[in-house]
Amino acid sequence: MPGRNHLFVPGPTTVPDSVLSAMHAQMVDHRSPVFPQLVTPLLQDLKKVFRTEQGQCFILPATGTAGWEISLANTLSPGDKVLAFRFGQFSHLWIDMAKRLGFNVQYDEIPWGQGIDPNRVEELLKADAGHEIKAVLICHNETATGVTNDLAAIRKAIDAAGHPALFFTDGVSSVASLEFRMDDWGVDVALAGSQKGFMLPAGLAMLCFSQKALKARETAKCPRCFLDIADHINANKDGYTPYTPAISLLYGLRKALDLLLEEGMENVYARHARLAEGTRRAVKAWGLELCCRDPQKYSNTVSAIVVPQGFDARDVMHYAFHRYNLSLGAGLSELAGKVFRIGHLGDLNELSLSSAIVGAEMAMLDVGIPVTPGSGIAAASSYWRETAKPLAPRG
Amino acid sequence: MPGRNHLFVPGPTTVPDSVLSAMHAQMVDHRSPVFPQLVTPLLQDLKKVFRTEQGQCFILPATGTAGWEISLANTLSPGDKVLAFRFGQFSHLWIDMAKRLGFNVQYDEIPWGQGIDPNRVEELLKADAGHEIKAVLICHNETATGVTNDLAAIRKAIDAAGHPALFFTDGVSSVASLEFRMDDWGVDVALAGSQKGFMLPAGLAMLCFSQKALKARETAKCPRCFLDIADHINANKDGYTPYTPAISLLYGLRKALDLLLEEGMENVYARHARLAEGTRRAVKAWGLELCCRDPQKYSNTVSAIVVPQGFDARDVMHYAFHRYNLSLGAGLSELAGKVFRIGHLGDLNELSLSSAIVGAEMAMLDVGIPVTPGSGIAAASSYWRETAKPLAPRG
Amino acid sequence: MPGRNHLFVPGPTTVPDSVLSAMHAQMVDHRSPVFPQLVTPLLQDLKKVFRTEQGQCFILPATGTAGWEISLANTLSPGDKVLAFRFGQFSHLWIDMAKRLGFNVQYDEIPWGQGIDPNRVEELLKADAGHEIKAVLICHNETATGVTNDLAAIRKAIDAAGHPALFFTDGVSSVASLEFRMDDWGVDVALAGSQKGFMLPAGLAMLCFSQKALKARETAKCPRCFLDIADHINANKDGYTPYTPAISLLYGLRKALDLLLEEGMENVYARHARLAEGTRRAVKAWGLELCCRDPQKYSNTVSAIVVPQGFDARDVMHYAFHRYNLSLGAGLSELAGKVFRIGHLGDLNELSLSSAIVGAEMAMLDVGIPVTPGSGIAAASSYWRETAKPLAPRG
Amino acid sequence: MPGRNHLFVPGPTTVPDSVLSAMHAQMVDHRSPVFPQLVTPLLQDLKKVFRTEQGQCFILPATGTAGWEISLANTLSPGDKVLAFRFGQFSHLWIDMAKRLGFNVQYDEIPWGQGIDPNRVEELLKADAGHEIKAVLICHNETATGVTNDLAAIRKAIDAAGHPALFFTDGVSSVASLEFRMDDWGVDVALAGSQKGFMLPAGLAMLCFSQKALKARETAKCPRCFLDIADHINANKDGYTPYTPAISLLYGLRKALDLLLEEGMENVYARHARLAEGTRRAVKAWGLELCCRDPQKYSNTVSAIVVPQGFDARDVMHYAFHRYNLSLGAGLSELAGKVFRIGHLGDLNELSLSSAIVGAEMAMLDVGIPVTPGSGIAAASSYWRETAKPLAPRG
């Protein structure tokens, strides 16, 4: 098909051309005396994205799924109890993993489309008088439903409960896009993948451990080796890696971090918020609902849009993809057919996102969903115009 | 600025990623025994784009501007009379060049926004009973105004006049995008550049000479050397080039020709026509006028849009570029400030073009031009939906 | 430093330009209906490299180190006994991992520079009358010492012992370079990484499991999740992956497999053998010894060269790198300072390898090792000339 | 063929990976307000390579061949007399072009392999009492024979003759590699191409005009348009170009200039001299002769090596290319079959060049030329070792 594919799944996201070019470089000896000049600044600059001064970052040649396992296996022991909340496919999968790895997972079922009530966290932790719960697992942004939890409030809830549990956060679809503050929020392990806000291909798991988490490591008895951060701690201190790193992705990460830090993390957050709000205005103008029911929890990285009764969201995706070369995110698991998703994260501006809104509208019309042509983009673009930065007149 | 630049000037056009990748390859010895395996098929396949079996194609490391000079200098002698028509900046520049090179240029002034009347061509040629006119210079698609001339009708006019003049066509913004038929239309020299429908960076002039033009070469007395196709005729017959070729652009041309021929030239024409008509529907929905006044001559590669009295099109471009990262084409020369242009040619699909329509609308609103938000894309997308190819249902 | 880096560590190897270009492509939706068109042929073609019809291949976004863990964790249960041999840094690390993961590792210490005696394998397995040993772990090619074991003979030894143990092989620096025959040799799990013979950046672990190994999976009790091939078996059957794959590396793998299969695996083996023998002739001409003491076990992918008494191989590497932009492989662990290594695997021809030989010679002379200038390349090039394919005369 | 091609023709030269990556970037609007941020610094930095403060540089989307024409057509009038020297294929071609363009060319025939005697220049100019000679055309480095002329001495000769002729120099295979000093040597027009010392693909002609040459422009009557620098002077002053530029090559030029200026022009010259001398030592060790007969004129960018009587240099090239993937330069015109050439310019270091020396030796042996295996590289590498920069010991 002529013309580019319009990629609006909530990951992998579009890789900026400059990042692809940075990745297009020859391999080097990862044991050479100059290799630390690549690794050490990456680890330092990652801290600026996780917003930490106290924590320590790690980069593994793996994915966000590995990140879940890294967080658990490096800090806990088999049979340990963890507290979690199931409110979408990715929070589900983390829980599922914890079970498979032999942990004792206590979790609330929350209707998909809702998020976590910090009061409930406090209540559950208070109820755990014996401090059996070793970690609280929170999916910051549930990519399947477009729901973002309030990590600051959850931190307060843990503190209010006076509970010593570790605080783990899945930031795969939040870190580098949504406001995330490792130190301020007292996060103990934050995990991210390369293929979302970091604007890279998948293939890197990036984590940040607090000093408390690093300490927990010393008594953790889970067997681990490839995912053992002990080897990374040893090797990283001199700027090396415990095994051959995914060098091309490291080259890309160098460029991606440059882009993020040049823009400034606060600006990155604001850009995502503004682009997301435009998308939500479009959804409203179409007369449709978001899967996320709580406006306080609307995700600024992904919107899951509910198709009206009688329609199958997979048909919308079918037309979008085959007719307009637009890749929309599918509804996952119990949301299959009920929602389609627009990822609005990463290297993105108003007019790129317009393609997704226009294309989604066209595909909805193709399958018979009665939306007013042009209504979505009219609402989105009006919002973006109203909130655009002042521009000096020409000349 | 985050996110990609939306490039909608009518050249250079967006280079497909696959073409950029093809260009990203190491140099080779252009005198090696295998180099002809690159050059010879390029020259053969170019003929399929110019739609010729009789003609001979040439590729020079130069630009479309050089193409104008190549056409003139290789076939004519100093002082020769040529007939031309001035109806936009690029037809103007070709005339200007012919004058600077010492030719005797007879030309009609045609209001910008109009095209060439074939009857007038016939009339002028009939008036030239002594056959002093050696060549008729026709800009097929005037990129400055969005006007496409009817070359078939002009060929008929030349024939009706029984005039032996050579028929030269500037196809810079038409060949590889708009219907173009070298043999059927009896074109003697057609010239193109790499940075428009060929979807490449600028740097190649591509020409096709008819047998009649090749014969005219033998008596042409214009001094020429770098642009002398004689050296190319000699070297090309064995698959070589008379001097070091722009190898990376040749690599890219190989891929670009593959893309064009896989799509099929008729499909390429139809795609451009459909995308252009959507754009024109948007303009109409905005309540604006095209610079081109004759619907029969609407260009399918570029639309020049007239801003209402009291507005300066350069302000629209200013907002589009600095606020939305959208590059629109400027009004040139006497159209400066009066029009902005949307190039809709090359590697393009509906949703890419949507970005230009949405962005142009936003920028117009920013400068105060009263258009209805969403109206442009509503009209364009409705047209594209109506004319989309049937798609089998999912599954 | 001007000019390219000459990368002759035994991994990562030089990535061919065509592979880097293939990797330089935009992301796509890994859940789209067309994604299996990428994944399924990769898995099929990988079988041709592992030389298997019976086995099943897997590609994980990880590294060879993960491959060791994948082989163990997916087939065994905690506390299981495995038989291994320690004769270099990488066989050491696999043993070390097995211990860390809680296996009962029985292993022989073999002097570094020697390989595994198949008779000893037979003897040890025969001694295990109770069949407590569940798997035999063999490092096919010990990258640290340049020793290649005879897997066919070891297979015979296992059979001769009538022992049911699984046969695991680390093929990180052998598969895709050295003769490797999964089916013929009855290998149960073979593991490889992307950054050696596959000519890619690190970031992919590629494995092949025999039916017997797949069956063992069913009773394996090791906790595992990210590295659990069960999820891959499920997802791969439809051409998908259980989590976001490292798409750019998959693009590269597509091209790398094309290169390997176009050359033909037998030709790949022969090329590596011929290039390696040239290197060995150079070493002999220098009057130096290889770390590998058994000519039957000389590695065709890496040569570890012993520097004379009184010299430190790290000085050779220092001069090679800083003065001539040549990256040689270091002596590892107990070989540190005693050897330097030349990797001669991957995308390589005679004249590329000449740079390594010439540069190693220059660096040795710089540190005072008395070798005759030009002697190494004289011996290597003479061998390569003698064994070059016949070439038809010019014209 | 596996492994890279070893490209040692004296142009196109190997493009550094970083330059290819810089070229791999999307097009932009060449009329946008930010485009001058690319063009203006390029023109400024080019002056640092031509070593001029007084002159003005130009970049055209063309080649070195066009450069010859640009120099002549922009400064002279038809029939003007120019003085030249024919001593190789490229000096020949410039003379040929001048004739074809209608100039009155007075030239000496000098045996190929020799260069220009400045005394003869002085003599000829003194003889031109009427100052009919308007320009002296000097090929600085004759790429066909490996002869470099002494431009400073020729400048002195012109001055000694008190002759006002313009001083034109072809620097295609010298500028950016060999010492070149526009201002110090009073050069009036210097021309270069992108595919040699500038380490780019062909496709850019780069020129520098002195103020005297710019003044001569005003009375020059040669017809010209595409190659008329008047349009460049007009457009460049604001950072624009008169027609669509070869943007990808400009991106590459930006990076190439960065590389050259970071290394420092004096270091660039010294590196080329040292690499060339190594090559010449190899030739001497082989017992062969260079085409260049005067050691004062040995070229530091290309060596033309004479094969012994009874051998055909084309056979050497045949074996080098087909057997070892080595591209050597051919003997041109009257040198065909008598010499092969090694280009040693551009992005090059000792070990890259070693491949050419080793490969040339192997190919010579293949065709039966009796050279001692290893002798060439022994001599070259010994010289390079002796002249290597001091290196601090390890650690």
Q: For residue C23, give the chain B residue with the closest CA.
A: B21
Note the pLDDT of residue D222: 96
Write the CATH number for C145. 3.40.640.10
A96 shares a domain with A70: yes
C145 shares a domain with C39: yes
Q: For residue B395, give the chain C residue with the closest CA.
A: C33
**pLDDT, tens only, A319-357:** 999 999 999 999 999 999 999 999 999 999 999 999 999
- Judge whether A393 lies within some domain: no
Specify the pairing of strand A81-86 against strand A104-109: parallel
C46 shares a domain with C102: yes
Does B319 sit within 8 Å of A391, measured CB to CB?
A: yes
Residues whose CB falls within 8 Å of the CB of residue A121, separated by 6 or more in sequence, listed in order: A83, A136, A154, A157, A158, A161
Closest among A57, A65, A41, A59 to A257, alpha carbons compared: A41
Q: Is B203 on the interface with D (CB under 8 A)?
A: yes
D312 shares a domain with D177: no
- Judge whether D285 lies within some domain: yes
Give which of D15, D18, D21 to mutate to test A binding, by max A Cβ within 10 Å. D21
Confidence of residue D255 (pLDDT cuts 50, 70, 90): very high
Contact predicate D222/D100, CB 8 Å: no
Sign of CA dihedral C96, C97, C103, C109: negative
CA–CA separation, A159 and A146 (whole Å): 27
Q: Report chain C residues whose CB lies below 8 A from the CB of D331.
A: none
Among A229, A262, A295, which residue terminates a domain?
A: A262
Q: How far is CA B289 from CA B285, B293, B321, in A?
A: 10, 8, 22
User: Which of A17, A25, A26 comes nearest D25 by C-beta?
Assistant: A17
Does C350 sit within 8 Å of D2, measured CB to CB?
A: no
Q: Is C249 on the interface with A (CB under 8 A)?
A: yes
Note the pLDDT of residue C1: 85
Give this prediction's pTM. Answer: 0.98
User: Which of D14, D325, D377 comes nearest C374 by C-beta?
Assistant: D377
HEC states along D287-304? CCEECCCCHHHECCCEEE
Q: Is D23 on the interface with A (CB under 8 A)?
A: no
Q: Report chain D residues whose CB lies below 8 A from the CB of A15.
A: none
Centre a 10 Å sphere on the Cβ of residue D389 and count the other Cβ atoms it contains: 6
Q: Is D18 on the interface with C (CB under 8 A)?
A: no
Q: What is the largest CA-CA distance in chain A?
A: 70
DSSP C233-259: HHHHTTT--SS---HHHHHHHHHHHHH
CA–CA separation, D229 and D58 (whole Å): 8
Note the pLDDT of residue C328: 98
The per-residue b/e assignment along D64-100, b for 16 or more CB within 10 angstroms, e otherwise, is: bbbbbbbbbbbbbeeebbbbbbbbbbbbbbbbebbee
The Cα of A173 is separated from the nearest Cα of chain B by a number of Å equal to 18
Does A354 sit within 8 Å of B355, measured CB to CB?
A: yes
Confidence of residue A155 (pLDDT cuts 50, 70, 90): very high
Give which of A9, A19, A27, A68 to mutate to test C binding, by max C Cβ within 10 Å. A27
Which of helix, strand or coil describes residue C103?
A: coil
**pLDDT, tens only, A92-131:** 999 999 999 999 999 999 999 999 999 999 999 999 999 9
B195 shares a domain with B122: yes
Q: For residue A320, give the chain B residue with the closest CA.
A: B351
Question: Domain range for residue A240?
Answer: 17-262
Return the half-sphere exposure (C-beta side, CA atoms, 13 A cut-off) of residue B167.
Answer: 26
Determine which helix (DSSP H) or strand (DSSP E) holds A61, and give its type and residue range: none
Q: For residue A365, give the chain B residue with the closest CA.
A: B385
Q: Report chain A residues whose CB lies below 8 A from the CB of D28.
A: none
Confidence of residue B205 (pLDDT cuts 50, 70, 90): very high
Confidence of residue A371 (pLDDT cuts 50, 70, 90): very high
Closest among A55, A92, A78, A279 to A187, alpha carbons compared: A55
Note the pLDDT of residue D143: 98
- Judge whether B50 lies within some domain: yes
A240 shares a domain with A166: yes
Give which of A24, A238, A352 to mutate to test D binding, by max D Cβ within 10 Å. A24
D28 shares a domain with D87: yes
Q: Is D24 on the interface with A (CB under 8 A)?
A: yes
Confidence of residue A157 (pLDDT cuts 50, 70, 90): very high
The Cα of C317 is separated from the nearest Cα of chain A by a number of Å equal to 9
Q: Is A80 on the interface with C (CB under 8 A)?
A: no
Q: Report chain C residues whose CB lies below 8 A from the CB of D262.
A: none
- Judge whether C391 lies within some domain: no
Q: Which chains touch C (3 or more CB pairs under 8 A)?
A: A, B, D
**pLDDT, tens only, B375-385:** 999 999 999 99
Write the CATH number for D370. 3.90.1150.10
CA–CA separation, D356 and D8 (whole Å): 7
Does A327 sit within 8 Å of C63, measured CB to CB?
A: no
CA–CA separation, A116 and A137 (whole Å): 11
Does C352 sit within 8 Å of D354, measured CB to CB?
A: no
Residues whose CB falls within 8 Å of the CB of residue B117, separated by 6 or more in sequence, listed in order: none
Which of helix, strand or coil describes residue B143?
A: coil
- Judge whether A391 lies within some domain: no
DSSP A33-50: TTTHHHHHHHHHHHHHHH
Six-digit token pair at D365?
């042996």
- Mean predicted confidence (pLDDT) in A283-296: 98
Give which of B14, B15, B19, B24 to mutate to test C binding, by max C Cβ within 10 Å. B24
User: Which of A4, A20, A330 comes nearest C31 by C-beta?
Assistant: A330
Among D215, D244, D262, which residue terminates a domain?
A: D262
Does A202 sit within 8 Å of C203, measured CB to CB?
A: no
Question: What's the number of domains chain D is made of?
Answer: 2
A1 pLDDT above the threshold of 90: no
- Judge whether C1 lies within some domain: no
Confidence of residue B278 (pLDDT cuts 50, 70, 90): very high
A308 shares a domain with A325: yes
Q: Burial-class residue C302 by CB neighbours within 10 Å (0-12, 13-18, 19+).
A: buried
Chain length of chain B? 395
Q: Is B189 on the interface with D (CB under 8 A)?
A: no
The one-letter code for the residue type at B332 is L
Q: Report chain C residues whose CB lies below 8 A from the CB of D268.
A: 2
**pLDDT, tens only, D338-347:** 999 999 999 9
A219 shares a domain with A82: yes
- Judge whether D142 lies within some domain: yes
User: Which of A2, A379, A388 comes nearest B271 by C-beta?
Assistant: A2
Q: Is C246 on the interface with A (CB under 8 A)?
A: yes
Q: Report chain D residues whose CB lies below 8 A from the CB of C377.
A: 354, 358, 374, 377
DSSP B1-17: --S--EEESSSSPPPPH
CA–CA separation, C223 and C69 (whole Å): 11
Q: Is C376 on the interface with A (CB under 8 A)?
A: no
What is the share, in percent, of chain B residues with pLDDT greater than 90?
99
DSSP B298: B
Note the pLDDT of residue B1: 86
User: Which of C222, C226, C330 comes nearest A31 by C-beta?
Assistant: C330
A227 shares a domain with A84: yes
Among D203, D235, D262, which residue terminates a domain?
A: D262
pLDDT under 70 in chain C at which residues? none
Q: Is A271 on the interface with B (CB under 8 A)?
A: yes
**Residue corresponding to tokens 């008088």:** A129
Q: Report chain A residues whose CB lies below 8 A from the CB of C100.
A: 223-225, 228
- Judge whether D213 lies within some domain: yes
The one-letter code for the residue type at B387 is T
Q: Is D21 on the interface with A (CB under 8 A)?
A: yes
Which of helix, strand or coil describes residue B230?
A: helix
Helix, strand, coil in percent for chain D, rounding step 5? 45, 15, 40
**pLDDT, tens only, D77-114:** 999 999 999 999 999 999 999 999 999 999 999 999 99
Closest among D374, A308, B50 to C361, alpha carbons compared: D374
What is the share, in percent, of chain B residues with pLDDT greater than 70?
100
CA–CA separation, C13 and C7 (whole Å): 7
Helices (H), B264-328: 265-285, 313-324
Six-digit token pair at A36?
């630390």
CA–CA separation, A46 and A176 (whole Å): 10
The Cα of B286 is separated from the nearest Cα of chain A by a number of Å equal to 13
Q: Report chain A residues whose CB lies below 8 A from the CB of C242.
A: 65
Note the pLDDT of residue A395: 81
Confidence of residue B131 (pLDDT cuts 50, 70, 90): very high
C374 shares a domain with C281: yes
CA–CA separation, C119 and C123 (whole Å): 6
Contact predicate A291/A320, CB 8 Å: no
Q: For residue A23, give the chain C residue with the closest CA.
A: C24
Mean per-residue pLDDT over chain D, rounded: 98
A37 pLDDT above the threshold of 90: yes
A288 shares a domain with A150: no
